[in-house]
């Protein structure tokens, strides 16, 4: 075993990992990367098929992002936002606000209110969500809406791993053990169309998604939740959602019109909308922000993963002037938002983010994303011929492939069989790296991925599924 692998085995505890399994074999130790390619200590190359857990946008070692960080490094790496402003964070805040309010590739601008006006920086997706939750909670109290503000979020929701973020999350496998630590929130049916209890139509081959006759019963469920809360005299403070596609739930896309309609319900009941675009932000769904595709603008927009192009841990929570104003007052009123992190507004992160956002917005990069989205769509179609592929769900540059025992009955594999993990192991042997979510295989290529590399990712996935499941 390589020396670094041995050190890892000896000292490192990995996230979301059964360490007993981890310690059974030599880990892949990454030493360098370029574009969509990662290289390990033995010189073996891999395609980064999940953009290093959904973070990387333009590829590894990108000369423009590198040089922006290096330039900033020559000035200063970090000074505190507690007491001081700094150059890249000021510029980045302005750019984020402009981008979040600005025209997107597919605008329905009429609905695009409220206007986002302020940026609160933090470190990662979880902290960006904590900030949104605390602000929404306190705003609801100060505005007189509720003495005991309540949140509603979707089944399968994932908003991070800190205690507040876990409280609005609803993935039992991750969250149940800690239920004693959490504050109570409500959950409501998510639009998981593939397993919709209101649509029992038999799947058709070549497109397992037969949701055409949908009456949007899941939207009625949300309306009912809001109605019940209001009747009880404690209306929801906010609805929390991952717009267009729930990530860790298993890449669950929302049907067209769902978000727009849900936003109308939220607004109709006077609640606030918290959009968690930690995964969907920065072009991943085809538009700069996912909400733009449905003409929806939240009161809180949480971004992280792709903010710095996936180079450094930095996050932001965008919000409105109205929320900001609720925290203004004489010092002695103690209306201050008493919250912050040591690395809030970090200069290296902000410099990387500025470079990444510039890349994101240039025309050739927009065209490249459109082409990659199409290439991915075309390649994915070959997977329908595999009997263990139940559903293929693509939104923009995100794809989730749900593996099942039997596509005709949609019967799932027992999680204990580790089908997703085994398929991803077989893919790694063939030089393609990704991680499953249960029985869902995720493909989320960096934006620089070539058509040839896209084809390789999908072909390798097909081979891995066949090898893992053929004779079982």
Ligand X SMILES: *Cc1c(COP(=O)(O)O)cnc(C)c1O
Q: Judging by beta carbons within 10 Å of its beta carbon (0-12, 13-18, 19+), is residue 285 exposed, middle or buried? A: buried
In this chain, which stretch among 26-34, 65-73, 109-117, 242-250 interacts with ligand X, using CB under 6 A? 242-250
Contact 406, 439 (CB under 8 A): no
Residues ≥6 apart with Cβ < 8 Å to 376: 394, 397, 399, 443, 445, 454, 458
Q: Would you call the peptide bond into 114 cis, given omega within 30 degrees of 0 as the criterion?
A: yes
Q: How far apart are CA 316 and CA 310, in angstroms?
A: 14
Q: How far apart are CA 24 and CA 9, in angstroms?
A: 9
Closest separation in Å from C-beta 136 to ligand X: 16
Structural tokens at position 135: 């602000």
279 binds ligand X (CB under 6 A): yes
Query: Which residue lies nearer to ligand X by CB, 235 or 247?
Result: 247
Query: Which residue lies nearer to ligand X by CB, 273 or 426?
Result: 273
CA distances to 150, 186, 303, 417 from 249, rounded to whole Å, are 22, 17, 18, 19
The residues facing 335 across adjacent strands are: none
Enclosing H/E stretch for 120 = strand 116-122
- Return the residue matching tokens 């965008």: 318
Q: What is the distance, to the nearest Å, from the Cα of residue 206 to the centroid of all Cα atoms in its chain?
A: 28
Q: How far apart are CA 168 and CA 146, in angstroms?
A: 18
Q: Work out which of 81, 244, 278, 469 binds ligand X, going by CB under 6 A.
A: 278
Q: Work out which of 47, 65, 259, 304 binds ligand X, going by CB under 6 A.
A: 304
In this chain, which stretch among 204-212, 275-283, 291-299, 372-380 interacts with ligand X, using CB under 6 A? 275-283
158 binds ligand X (CB under 6 A): yes
124 binds ligand X (CB under 6 A): yes
Contact 177, 238 (CB under 8 A): no
Q: Work out which of 88, 125, 149, 310 binds ligand X, going by CB under 6 A.
A: 125
Structural tokens at position 451: 């058509």
159 binds ligand X (CB under 6 A): yes
40 binds ligand X (CB under 6 A): no
244 binds ligand X (CB under 6 A): no
306 binds ligand X (CB under 6 A): no
Q: What character string, x for contact with ligand X (CB under 6 A) and - otherwise, covers 66-85?
A: --------------------
Query: Which residue lies nearer to ligand X by CB, 274 or 360?
Result: 274
311 binds ligand X (CB under 6 A): no
Closest separation in Å from C-beta 159 to ligand X: 5
Q: Work out which of 27, 88, 160, 281 binds ligand X, going by CB under 6 A.
A: 160
In this chain, which stretch among 37-45, 196-204, 229-237, 274-282 interacts with ligand X, using CB under 6 A? 274-282
Q: How far apart are CA 438 and CA 459, in angstroms?
A: 21
Query: Which residue lies nearer to ligand X by CB, 47 or 133?
Result: 133
Closest separation in Å from C-beta 169 to ligand X: 9
Q: Judging by beta carbons within 10 Å of its beta carbon (0-12, 13-18, 19+), is residue 98 exposed, middle or buried? A: exposed
In this chain, which stretch among 121-129, 179-187, 225-233, 286-294 interacts with ligand X, using CB under 6 A? 121-129
In this chain, which stretch among 81-89, 135-143, 273-281, 338-346 interacts with ligand X, using CB under 6 A? 273-281
In this chain, which stretch among 120-128, 139-147, 378-386, 419-427 interacts with ligand X, using CB under 6 A? 120-128
Q: What is the distance, to the nearest Å, from the Cα of residue 233 to the centroid of all Cα atoms in its chain?
A: 33
196 binds ligand X (CB under 6 A): no
Cα angle: 222, vertex 226, 231; to 5 degrees: 145
The DSSP bridge pattern shows strands 151-154 and 238-241 to be: parallel
Query: Which residue lies nearer to ligand X by CB, 137 or 158?
Result: 158
Closest separation in Å from C-beta 312 to ligand X: 12
Q: Which of 148, 158, 221, 157 is nearest to 183 (CA)?
A: 148
Query: Which residue lies nearer to ligand X by CB, 156 or 235?
Result: 156
439 binds ligand X (CB under 6 A): no
For ligand X, the binding residues (CB under 6 A) are: 124-126, 129, 158-160, 242, 247-248, 276, 278-279, 304-305
């Amino acid at each position: 075993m390589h020396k670094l692998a041995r050190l890892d085995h000896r000292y490192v505890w990995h996230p979301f990992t059964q360490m007993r399994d981890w310690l059974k074999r030599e880990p892949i130790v990454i030493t360098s990367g370029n574009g969509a390619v990662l290289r390990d200590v033995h010189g073996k190359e891999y395609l980064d098929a999940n953009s290093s857990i959904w973070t990387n946008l333009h590829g590894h070692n990108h000369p423009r992002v590198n040089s922006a960080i290096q330039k900033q490094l020559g000035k200063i790496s970090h000074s505190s936002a507690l007491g001081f402003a700094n150059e890249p964070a000021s510029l980045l805040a302005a750019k984020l606000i402009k981008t979040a309010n600005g025209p997107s590739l597919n605008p329905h601008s009429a609905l695009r209110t409220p206007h986002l006006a302020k940026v609160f920086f933090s470190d990662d997706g979880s902290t960006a969500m904590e900030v949104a939750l605390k602000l929404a909670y306190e705003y609801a109290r100060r505005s007189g809406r509720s003495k005991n503000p309540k949140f509603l979020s979707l089944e399968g929701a994932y908003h991070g791993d800190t205690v507040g973020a876990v409280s609005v999350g609803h993935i039992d496998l991750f969250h149940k053990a800690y239920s004693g630590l959490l504050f109570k929130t409500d959950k409501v049916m998510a639009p998981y169309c593939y397993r919709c209890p209101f649509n029992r139509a038999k799947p058709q081959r070549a497109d397992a998604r037969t949701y055409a006759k949908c009456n949007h019963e899941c939207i009625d469920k949300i309306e009912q939740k809001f109605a019940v809360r209001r009747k009880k005299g404690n209306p929801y403070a906010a609805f929390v959602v991952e717009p267009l596609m729930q990530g860790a739930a298993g890449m669950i896309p929302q049907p067209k019109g769902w978000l727009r309609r849900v936003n109308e319900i939220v607004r109709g009941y006077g609640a606030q909308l918290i959009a968690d675009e930690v995964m969907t932000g920065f072009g991943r769904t085809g538009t700069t922000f996912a909400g733009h595709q449905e003409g929806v603008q939240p009161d809180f927009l949480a971004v992280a993963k792709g903010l710095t192009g996936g180079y450094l841990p930095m996050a932001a929570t965008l919000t409105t002037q109205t929320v900001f104003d609720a925290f203004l007052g004489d010092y002695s009123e103690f209306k201050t938002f008493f919250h912050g992190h040591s690395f809030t507004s970090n200069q290296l992160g902000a410099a990387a983010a500025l470079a990444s956002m510039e890349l994101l917005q240039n025309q050739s990069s927009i065209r490249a994303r459109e082409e990659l989205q199409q290439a991915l769509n075309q390649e994915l179609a070959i997977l329908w011929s595999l009997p263990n592929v139940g559903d293929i769900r693509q939104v923009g540059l995100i794809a989730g492939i749900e593996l099942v025992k039997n596509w005709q009955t949609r019967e799932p594999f027992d999680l204990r069989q580790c089908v997703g993990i085994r398929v991803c192991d077989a893919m790694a042997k063939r030089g393609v790296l990704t991680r499953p979510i249960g029985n869902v295989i995720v493909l989320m290529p960096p934006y620089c991925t070539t058509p040839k590399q896209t084809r390789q990712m999908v072909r390798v996935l097909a081979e891995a599924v066949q090898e893992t499941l053929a004779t079982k």
